[in-house]
């Protein structure tokens, strides 16, 4: 079994309204060193496969087709063994 972690981020060129609000709240709490906050998504998939590279390729395909929107988002796929 493999576990795939998909990180989905808003493209850097796009304004992240949620991130901006969170940043403001953090500054209000006194975390003055915060210069930027971006909010993304994490999707965890468990796959019945032993082949890491096959899993990576398949999950990337899932990202292209469904999990991420290529117009607004970027994605990263991390694959690890489950035990």
Interface residue list for other proteins (CB under 8 A) = 10, 14-15, 17-18, 21, 66-67, 69, 71-72
Nearer to other proteins by Cβ, of 15 and 29: the residue is: 15
Q: Which of 38, 47, 39, 37 is nearest to 5 (CA)?
A: 47
Q: Name which of 35 and 65 has its Cβ closer to other proteins.
A: 65
In whole angstroms, how close is the CB of 83 to other proteins at the nearest point?
29
Spacing of C-alpha 47 from chain mean position: 18
Interatomic CA distance for residues 42 and 77, integer angstroms: 10
Task: Tell the residue number behind the tokens 């999990």, with chain if given.
Answer: 67
State the minimum distance, in angstroms, from the CB of residue 22 to other proteins. 11
Output the smallest distance, CB 68 to other proteins, in A: 9
Nearer to other proteins, 33 or 71 (CB): 71
Other C-beta atoms closer than 10 Å to the C-beta of 2 total 20
């Amino acid at each position: 079994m493999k576990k795939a972690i998909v990180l989905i981020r808003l493209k850097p060129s796009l304004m992240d309204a949620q991130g901006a609000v969170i940043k403001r709240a953090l500054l209000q709490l006194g975390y003055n060193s915060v210069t930027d906050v971006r909010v993304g998504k994490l999707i965890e998939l468990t796959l019945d496969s032993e082949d890491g590279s096959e899993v990576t390729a398949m999950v990337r395909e899932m990202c292209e087709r469904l999990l991420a929107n290529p117009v607004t988002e970027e994605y990263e796929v991390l694959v690890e063994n489950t035990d």
